[in-house]
Structure 1
Amino acid sequence: MAAAGSAGVHGAARPLMRLVTMTGAPILRQLHLEERLLRRTGDNWCVINHGTAPPTIVMGVSGRVSELVEIEPVLRDQVPVVRRFSGGGTVIIDQGTVFVTFICNKTAVAGLQPFPRDIMSWTSQLYSKVFNGFGEFHLRENDYAFNHRKFGGNAQSITKNRWVHHTSFLWDYDVKNMDYLKIPKRAPEYRLARNHTDFLCRMKEYMPSRSVFTDGIITALREHFSVESTDLETGPSDDEEFVPSTKLLSQKDLEEIVSSKESFRAQKVQA
């Protein structure tokens, strides 16, 4: 493993990136950690989490629940719904999802402008190296795809001096879980009105193992960073001053949305 401060391709010292790997961490814990790393540290981080339980719906900070989630079956089956601190779309995640997050200072990657398209371009170039030889990888609009089928959804948040780019990769997925999500009104053009199963694919059909994927990420990162594994115990500790904005929506929140929809329908009928 490269040592901190080792020379890069052009002789300049590579910035340090701290690597955190987890297995089965609850998504709410992961997102709280990422927001803390973004806002309370000055380091560069890569967070990798293999799977989460139970199956959970995660929405972007400005997503409308009524437009994106089938609320009645979600309430019936008690599926958790989380609103994260970053933008992006809505996903349902489970043990078959692999999460990869980059949290970086604006100066961490030479020449990278801290704007959504620029960050997306850089991460897609990095992942093109990871997937080289395993499939026809493309950045399609804001998604990662093999050919025309999506396997990675992305979200970003940019602060004054730092940015975060996180991806939920579908190593595998349960088809029935997709029924909890509506097809969004603002779907990407390349979706072509396809349903979830026609639009999505599984990474396990293209790569031999999750460890091959993880090793590929670390190898690609070492072209830009000195990568150092970091135990969570040495990371930023919980403190009462930090209040994460990522929230678990309560059953009451969801029930109120259902009630307001039913009330609106009733008013339309009376009109």
Structure 2
Amino acid sequence: MATRKAGLPLMNIVRTKGMPILEQLKLEECLLRTSSDNWCIINDGTNKPTIVMGISGKPAELVEINHVLEDKIPVIRRFTGGGTVIVDHGSIFVSFICNKDAVPDVQPYPRPIMSWSSLLYSKVFQETDDFRLRENDYVFGHRKFGGNAQSITKNRWIHHTSFLWDYETRNMSYLKLPKRAPEYRMARDHLDFICPMKDYVSRLDFINKTIDAAASHFSVKSTDFDEVKLISDSKFTPTSRLVTEEELEAAAIKFDQ
């Protein structure tokens, strides 16, 4: 796939399936901080249920630690901000890593980047009247199906989204109702707050339409994953990491005191 359009910046499209989410996060941070190219990373599902927290997330406030430890659910602290999600084979991940001058009409701040992304995804969901951006979430009506996180550096930014194409109901029991939640949530529990994308679009259609939407902003070029992996195998040290069992246990003890 190659769609070269005169006057538009080049974006490399990387498609993969089932990549472990920690590996994906490490790859993205490396591309953000060591590459000078624009990237769109699309990962269709991850290998096993994993909780992912934002860079400042506190496990005791966000996850049911005893339940997580008992079932050996990995917990990751990612390099970007945003909230806490549990991801698995039903998740689809899309990340845009851009030079600031590649999208010069977008100020390099969270709200303008969110607005830009919502316009891009409005093309993906143009046949769905219920799609909108609510606060920092993508929703159908009043139910969330996409959570976003960002990191902004001097010359570049990343905007990545975990889309809930489908979910396992039991996985939601690992998450607590966060103290800081969007107003439109109105204290609803997870199952009343979220909805699956599968009721609106197929996995393949969503991925293809996302690439088509990206092609309206960029000249897109398909890039082999192995080629990108060579970049990420550099000496760069990522900050996304697995939270250890000892850290989780200590957080639970401190929280109970």
Give the TM-score of the pair, scaled to structure 1. Answer: 0.92
**How is 1:31-180 mapped onto 2 (pairs within 5 angstroms)?**
31-180=25-174
**Aligned match of 1:212:** 205
Q: Distance in 2 between matches of 1:233 and 1:69?
A: 35
Taking only aligned residues, the RMSD between alpha carbons, in angstroms, comes to 1.1
**How is 1:176-195 mapped onto 2 (pairs within 5 angstroms)?**
176-195=170-189
Structure with greater Cα Rg: 1
**With CA pairs under 8 Å and 6+ residues apart, which has the higher RCO, 1 or 2?**
2
Q: Distance in 2 between matches of 1:226 and 1:145?
A: 28
Q: Which runs of 5 or more residues in structure 1 are unaligned? A: 8-12, 265-271
Question: Aligned AA for 1:213?
Answer: F
Pairwise CA distance, 1:258: 2.0
Deviations 1:238-269 (A, max 9, x none): 12x3110001011111111122234x2xxxxx
Contact 2:54 2:78 (C-alpha < 8 Å) held by counterparts: yes
User: Which of 8, 15, 23 is equivalent to 1:29?
Assistant: 23
Q: Distance in 2 between matches of 1:152 and 1:233?
A: 28
Q: Which runs of 5 or more residues in structure 2 are unaligned? A: none
**Percent identity between the aligned chains?**
60
Q: Distance in 2 between matches of 1:178 and 1:3?
A: 40
Query: How many residues of Structure 1 are paired with residues of Structure 2 in the alignment?
Result: 255
User: Which of 223, 226, 231 is equivalent to 2:224?
Assistant: 231
Q: Distance in 1 between matches of 2:110 and 2:130?
A: 23
Pairwise CA distance, 1:136: 1.0
Contact 2:92 2:164 (C-alpha < 8 Å) held by counterparts: yes
Pairwise CA distance, 1:237: 4.2
Contact 2:3 2:215 (C-alpha < 8 Å) held by counterparts: no
Q: Distance in 1 between matches of 2:232 and 2:130?
A: 41
SS at match of 2:36: coil
Contact 1:135 1:206 (C-alpha < 8 Å) held by counterparts: no
Q: Distance in 2 between matches of 1:23 and 1:135?
A: 29
